[in-house]
Amino acid sequence: MTGKRIWIGLLVAALLAAGGYYFLFHTQAGASLRGQEATPASGQVAQTGQGQFVPTGADAQQAAPASTVRIQPANTVLGQVSASGNIELIETVDVAMEVSGRVKRILVQVGDQVAAGDVLLTLDTTELERAVRRAELAVESQKNQLEELRSEVTPADIAVAEAELASARENLAQVLAGPTQEEINAARNELAAAQARYQELIAGPSEYELTQLSADLKKKEIALQEAQRAYDQVAWRNDAAASSQAATLQQATIDYEAAAAAYAQATEPATASERADALAAVLNAQHALDLLLQQPTPADIASAEAAVAQAEANLETLKAGPSATDLRAAEIALEQALIDLQEAYEALGKAQVTAPMDGTVLSVNVTPGQQVSQGAVVMTMADTTQLQLTIDVAEVDIPQVSIGQRAEIQVDALIGQQFIGQVTRIAPASDSTSGVVNYPVTIQLLEGPLDQVRPGMTAVATLASQTASEDNEWLVPSNAIQNQNGTPVILVVRNGQTLPVQVTPGRVQGEWTVVQSDELQLGDEVVGSVASFTNQESNFRFGGPGGPIPGGGRALGGGRQ
């Protein structure tokens, strides 16, 4: 019975020993206990400053850690700033009219890709062509004037100028002499005739005139009666209409009607219009006579003397030739005409509106036949591959952002596509909304399938910290750092072997510490443990729920929504 109990006790002890071994070497809690109560093995051991022991030499290489964590380069994790925003065009260009006119043709439509210099629309050139022709004629005229100044004066030109001077002097002499007696008499006769005509209209015909008109009318009446009797005697004949009696009757009728009209006109009183015209003729004749009697007036003498002076100056100019001032004035006039012609040509050329850049037509604001003014915006263009993203960066993260900083961009609509950008602008003033202080940061897209991106798409930009760690800095669990003879080391598991690696500890980030070592490699694992990891892909995360983020950054800080 006693022997049976002994075997049972040994069996329980063996089970407890196996469970302890599994707990010590296959659980995180066991790994922690091993760090505190490590028992020296057959090889050498070193005690840490915290009372821990780590194997060294061959024993360290043979030891298999129970819990390991993969290290990560510090510069890929610390201080990243990420925020969202909407893609927008860097620049839009307005295509404005440089001349006014009527739209004739529109050669593009919204969405068309055009190259710099391509014709977008044309204007009706009728008025512009007329302006060119007028400018050409002005140039020709100014050239002729300049050539005339430069040409030599001929004897014929001198003779013409001398004749004009003689004529001007003769006219001056006539003006000074005043009107002749014949001119005065003619003016007085004109006045007398006008006055007589007016008096006749007012007084009407005289008794003598009425007697004559009445007698003539009676005579024509008797002649008409005699002609009628003679015609009546042959009226029965078939050829009576062609007889001499018929012709005499017709002539007598005409003479009688003319005499009757003359008598009626003479006895009819003058109309108001006739009296007014006759009075106006009297006044005009009187005014002409008065002017003639007043000559020469000072104005007449001055005008005649000026004509003489001008003729003398013209003759002297011809004899002396053009002055330097006259030549220069003619040259300036020609230059101005040439400038006007050049501007007219340029305006005609601007009737074709061309693309100022390579890009896409965003809008067309006119229709054929529409009248447009100079300066009117007829189209809008942009280079749709020149894109930018503006994000809001929180005030705690803005010190990590600088001009020229590289950014990785993910566009929501283009899953799996990676874009590279660069910070081009940081707003100098904050954009505070609901107490949250953000600074707009503009990022230009530089690499990636930019032809697939459209303005307005939502995207997320991630900026690497400008205070990133050195290439030889790594993040390791803080509890993985041990002290071996006063030197910080970590146990690295590489290719199934555990090796002690000397490190230089740096700043602490929660459960993690930044260490420096040239011996560490990407993919190394170290003996240690943490409560949580950064992400599922790399098994690396800072802190638990609500825990701190290394570097003071925000994993997704203050993005534009």
> Residue 439: which CATH number?
2.40.30.170
Question: Helices 2-26 and 28-36 sit at what angle, rounded to 10 degrees?
Answer: 90
Q: In this structure, is residue 292 part of a structural domain?
A: no
- Judge whether residue 212 has pLDDT over 90: no
SS3 content of the chain, % helix, strand, coil (to 5): 45, 25, 30
Between 159 and 11, the higher pLDDT residue: 159
Quickly state the pLDDT bin for 78 (edges 50, 70, 90). Answer: low
Same domain for 402 and 497, yes or no, is yes
Q: Does 101 reside within a domain?
A: yes
Tell me what the mean pLDDT of segment 209-234 comes to.
Answer: 88
The answer as to whether 232 is a domain residue is no
At 197, is the pLDDT very low, low, confident or very high (cuts 50, 70, 90)? confident
Within this chain, do residues 80 and 119 fall inside the same structural domain, yes or no? no
In terms of domains, do 399 and 548 share one? yes
pLDDT of residue 79: 60
- Per-residue H/E/C for 461-501: EEECCCCCCCCCEEEEEHHHCEEECCEEEEEEEECCEEEEE
pLDDT tens digits, one per residue of 1-29 = 444 454 555 555 555 555 555 445 444 44
Domain boundary among the residues 366, 382, 398 is at 382
433 falls within a domain: yes
pLDDT digits (tens, 9 = 90+) for 317-364: 888 877 888 889 999 999 999 999 999 999 999 999 999 999 999 999
Average pLDDT for 111-124? 93
Confidence (pLDDT) at 126: 92
Residue 132 included in any domain: no
pLDDT value of position 42: 32
Tens digits of per-residue pLDDT, 280-301? 998 999 999 888 888 888 898 9
| pLDDT band, residue 48 (cuts 50/70/90) | very low
43: phi then psi, degrees, rounded to nearest 5: -85, -165
Cα separation, 88 vs 393, in Å, equals 18
DSSP state of 415: T
pLDDT at 466 > cutoff 60: no
Q: What is the pLDDT of residues 483-519, one digit of tens each?
A: 999 999 999 999 889 999 999 998 776 678 889 999 9
Q: Are residues 376 and 469 in the same domain?
A: no
Helix axes 207-234, 244-267, angle to 10 degrees: 160
Distances (CA, A) of 173 to 159, 161, 170, 177, 299: 21, 19, 5, 6, 14
The structure's pTM equals: 0.45
Judge whether 291 lies within some domain: no
Residue 508 lies in a domain: yes
Share the mean pLDDT of the chain.
Answer: 80
Average pLDDT over residues 94-113: 93
pLDDT digits (tens, 9 = 90+) for 420-456: 999 999 999 887 766 778 889 999 999 999 889 999 9
Same domain, 427 and 515: yes
| CATH code: domain of residue 358 | 2.40.50.100
**One domain for residues 442 and 516:** yes
At 11 the pLDDT is 55
Q: What is the pLDDT of residues 300-317, one digit of tens each?
A: 899 999 999 999 988 888
473 falls within a domain: yes
Among residues 251, 261, 262, 204, the alpha carbon closest in space to that of 227 is found at: 251
Cα 406 to the center of its chain, rounded Å: 33
Query: What is the tally of structural domains in the chain?
Result: 2
Which domain, by its residues, includes 366?
92-123+354-382
Q: Are residues 411 and 548 in the same domain?
A: yes
Q: How many CA atoms lie within 13 A of 386 on its CB side?
A: 12
Cα dist. 416→83, 388, 411 in Å? 18, 19, 9
Query: In the predicted model, what is the mean pLDDT of residues 219-234?
Result: 90
pLDDT at 89: 92
> CA-to-CA distance for 394 and 439, rounded, in angstroms?
6
Taking 80 as the threshold, does the pLDDT of residue 107 lie above it?
yes
pLDDT score recorded for residue 334: 94
What would the mean pLDDT of 79-101 be, rounded to a whole number?
88
The whole-number pLDDT of residue 45 equals 37
419 & 517 share domain: yes
> For residue 410, what are the β-bridge partners?
460
Check whether residue 518 and residue 422 sit in a common domain.
yes
> Can you tell me the distance from the alpha carbon of 543 to that of 534, in angstroms, rounded to the nearest whole number?
8
Give the per-residue pLDDT at 539: 39
Together in a domain, 465 and 493? yes
| Residues 528, 406 share a domain | yes
Residue with tokens 């003679």: 230
Residues 397 and 545 in one domain: yes
